[in-house]
Chains A and B, each alone.
Chain A
Amino acid sequence: NAGVTQTPKFQVLKTGQSMTLQCAQDMNHNSMYWYRQDPGMGLRLIYYSASEGTTDKGEVPNGYNVSRLNKREFSLRLESAAPSQTSVYFCASSEVSGLDNEKLFFGSGTQLSVL
């Protein structure tokens, strides 16, 4: 009963390095999301994918790219990491976006530090 699985759980990067955060869900959900959470800032949407084959920008997309590889997987890539991207990253999924009874299921998070 895995739900939403994120890897890695922790990562330390140097400024300018690149990396990809992986996310997979086994609930057959259509919609997937990437959020970042910073102290005092709450959860902010980076990118989302309402269905397989589509992606859209959220509130804070700069410096990130995403790929909806298939219905299960949604990856987040940092091409050139910056200290401002130090944060906790959460992947989430939901069955259908926009419904009143929509429930987001979150992964366990990735703690990323950029030095």
Chain B
Amino acid sequence: QKEVEQNSGPLSVPEGAIASLNCTYSDRGSQSFFWYRQYSGKSPELIMSIYSNGDKEDGRFTAQLNKASQYVSLLIRDSQPSDSATYLCAVRETGTASKLTFGTGTRLQVTL
């Protein structure tokens, strides 16, 4: 059973701080990694994707990938109350072109 692990949280950070969300995965051959944001009662939406080792930045969001450690993270700089949501890590495993495996999500709370 291929696994994607996330700490369920809640992760509480003050407004303006950096939020760090982490995800580990079991399939060493995984090639594609995604972060989805899900507000309470809403559907998930893609915020970041990353495929190569290193960092990828998009505005206040930075995705970090370390394939050797089987670890992917999402950093949110200058956290805002509107960032309060559940963040889902998703991994496309080797040989499963149409299947994403999602983690259980980390709930982020940004406090005033």
Residues in A lying within 8 Å of B, measured CB to CB = 31, 33, 35, 40-45, 48, 50, 56, 58-59, 90, 97-98, 100-104, 106-109
Contact = CB atoms under 8 A, between A and B. Distances in A.
B28 interface: no
Contacts of B32: 100, 102
Contacts, number: 54
Contacts of B103: 42
B102 A43 contact: yes
Nearest to A6: B43
B43 A90 contact: yes
Query: Which of A43, A97, A107, A109 gathers the greatest number of chain B CB atoms within 10 Å?
Result: A43
A42 B104 contact: yes
A4 to B, nearest CB: 8
Contacts of B49: 100-101, 103
B100 to A, nearest CB: 7
B20 interface: no
Contacts of B101: 59
Given A106-B44, A108-B43, A109-B42, 7 more contacts: A42-B102, A42-B104, A44-B102, A90-B44, A97-B97, A100-B32, A103-B46
B108 to A, nearest CB: 16
Interface in B96-110: 97-105
B45 A45 contact: no
